[in-house]
Amino acid sequence: MTKLLANQSLSIRRESLRKAKEAARKAHPSKMAFVLAAKLLPAIFSWEELSSSRGQGLKSKEGDNRPVLDISKMAILKGRCFNHNFFSVPSLKNITDKR
């Protein structure tokens, strides 16, 4: 088991993190963080939690009484995926420079 963030208590299997990072590396650079987050969701939440929830509840419809996903776990996931630079993405200058 490995912690998603060093200062947080949420841990997942090391194999799940490796597979998620591998999938994110194969994605387009602009979508790496989203792919990483999507691949880590099943490692953090059970399938029952995911299927019976309404996600973060951001665009809930009137009368939808399903619970939202755990806010603290989602904050840790967002911190891992969107606030850290796990992949060295080449700059635009390096991509367009043909020398």
Q: Where are the domains of the chain?
A: 2-54+68-96
DSSP code per residue over 23-57: HHHHS-GGGHHHHHHHHHHHHHS-HHHHHHS-TT-
Residue 99: both structure tokens together: 């020398």
Q: Per-residue pLDDT tens for 72-93?
A: 888 888 877 777 555 433 333 3
Residue 96 clears pLDDT 70, i.e. is over it: no
Q: Per-residue pLDDT tens for 6-30?
A: 667 788 888 888 898 899 889 988 8
In this structure, are residues 20 and 32 in contact, taking their beta carbons and an 8 Å threshold?
no
* Distance from the first to the final alpha carbon of the chain: 44
Q: Per-residue pLDDT tens for 67-77?
A: 888 888 888 88
The model's pTM:
0.68
